Amino acid sequence: MLKGTHLIAGQWVVGDTTFTNEPTTGEPDIFSAGTVDLVNEAAEAAEEAFWTYGYSTRAERATFLRTIADEINARGDLITEMGCKETGLPEARLIGERGRTTGQLVLFADHIESGEYLDRRHDKALPDRAPLPRPEIFMMQRPIGPVAVFGASNFPLAFSTAGGDTAAALAAGCPVIVKGHSAHPGTSDLVAQAIDTAIKTCGIHPGVFSLIQGGNRAVGTATVQHPLIRAVGFTGSLGGGRALFDLCASRPEPIPFFGELGSVNPMFILDGALGARGAAIAEGWAGSLTMGAGQFCTNPGIAVVIEGSDAAAFLSAAEAALAPIGAQTMLTDGIASAYHQGRDRLAATKGVQEVLTTTCDLRNATPYLFATTAAEWLANEDLGEEVFGPLGMVVTARNMDEVAEVARSLQGQLTCTLHMDDGDTADAQRLMPILERKAGRILANGFPTGVEVCDAMVHGGPYPASTNFGATSVGTLSIRRFLRPVSYQNIPHGVLPGDLT
């Protein structure tokens, strides 16, 4: 069932050393560990593939993307079984995530067939214009070349081997090298087998996709610093992402690093909504906060309210909704340890009240609820650091002036949410200009956990939510990360790229 090796340009290659996954059930599986030499082989194969794949037709690439989706679905039961074993995520979650993964592959196929992403422009020649004539100029987006993608720990399918970054890059015409995440190498192995079969079925150059598993830090460094790699996609921690970002920037020829690094995703619960339905909002928050053990980058960790009896009732309702939720298995021992450390850090912070404390250890997570004031929040920037897991904090402000100060104090966020009723319109209007500068997505009367894959979605934001505020890692706009505009001036029409003629 598993290859246990690396897929390099159509060949399953063994490395010099091995590592194992850390399954929640059953025996560990053994995998070959990546090396710098394998990175070199994959990058050279990707560059060779680009000379054909980068100039393939949109119809050919669309067929390839749909074939990958079909091959993933054909292995659906095996992928779900392995994903559950490695991550502890429930079967329903893995099935849903597989649907999102194959759905976005098909979405990109449809998107490139329409041709809108090319942003084609044409300025006709004006030979008689005075004082100088104007040449004929065409413009179109073109693929940038080989792309490296780092798999995410919290999404073994949708943000990993054949996830959004890979789908967008392949749709653009860019070969991809995936550095698989060590939390789920078996799942990555099975998905890579699906891609390998699609490559052979469609007659694509085998260098268009490679998977390198495991390996030490030198392997990741070599991946982002290889001179043939033109961009990097990453979803993960702020520390790891910033280290890779710095490596990309320090290259002799710097390249873009598209990192999605995390967010506390604050909710602002305005007075009208708080008084009318505070308990319902608290219950919904508890469900969103603990979904998937809180291991979503859009997990709403902060709720901002204005002091008073309604705020006190909201806090009590949130505590009551969170208290019955039991322990959930986290994705890795390391993520669980970081969650426990984050909990302990907040518990020891001056001005922070422990509202709900529970007991969890090993790889488990249970919900925690803390409370603080806006004044304490504004005085201690550490309170704005993400704790990855089912931990929430209520920030109580004295008035709307303090609410606005809290909003202005935020670092870049993936999302900000307004809970509001009609009577809150003026307060919402006051906050909107601030929130637009802080987040890539603003919601009203909902919860940000879960990201719709569609044309209008933005999953990104100002740093540290992501490293490129003009990009998104979800939705069809994400293809633009792996394209660059090229102008064609007075080029004979017979020489222009086919998509322009």
Which residues belong to the active site? 260, 297
Of 481, 404, 417, residue with least CA distance to 448: 417
Separation between Cα atoms, residue 150 and residue 14, nearest integer Å: 20
Separation between Cα atoms, residue 18 and residue 323, nearest integer Å: 42
User: What is the phi/psi pair of residue 363, to 5°?
Assistant: -100, 15
Order of all β-strands in the sheet with 267-269: 353-356, 368-373, 391-397, 302-306, 267-269, 413-419, 439-444
Cβ neighbours of residue 359 under 8 Å, at least 6 residues apart? 366
CA distances from 245 to 174, 225, 330 (A): 20, 10, 27
CA angle 212/217/223 to nearest 5° reads: 50
Of 288, 252, 209, 220, residue with least CA distance to 42: 209
Is residue 452 left, alpha or beta, with left meaning phi > 0 and alpha meaning psi from -120 to 50? beta
User: Residues 264, 301: contact at Cβ < 8 Å?
Assistant: yes
Q: What ranges make up the beta strands (E) of 180-291?
A: 209-212, 231-235, 257-260, 267-269
Separation between Cα atoms, residue 142 and residue 77, nearest integer Å: 37
Handedness of CA 326, 327, 329, 332 (dihedral sign): positive
Provide the residue type at 102 as one letter.
T
Handedness of CA 31, 32, 33, 36 (dihedral sign): negative
CA distances from 291 to 22, 93, 328 (A): 22, 10, 10
Cβ atoms within 10 Å of 282's Cβ, excluding its own: 24
CA atoms within 13 A on the CB side of 103: 12
Burial 28-47 (b: 16+ CB within 10 A, else e): ebebbbbbeebbebbbbbbb
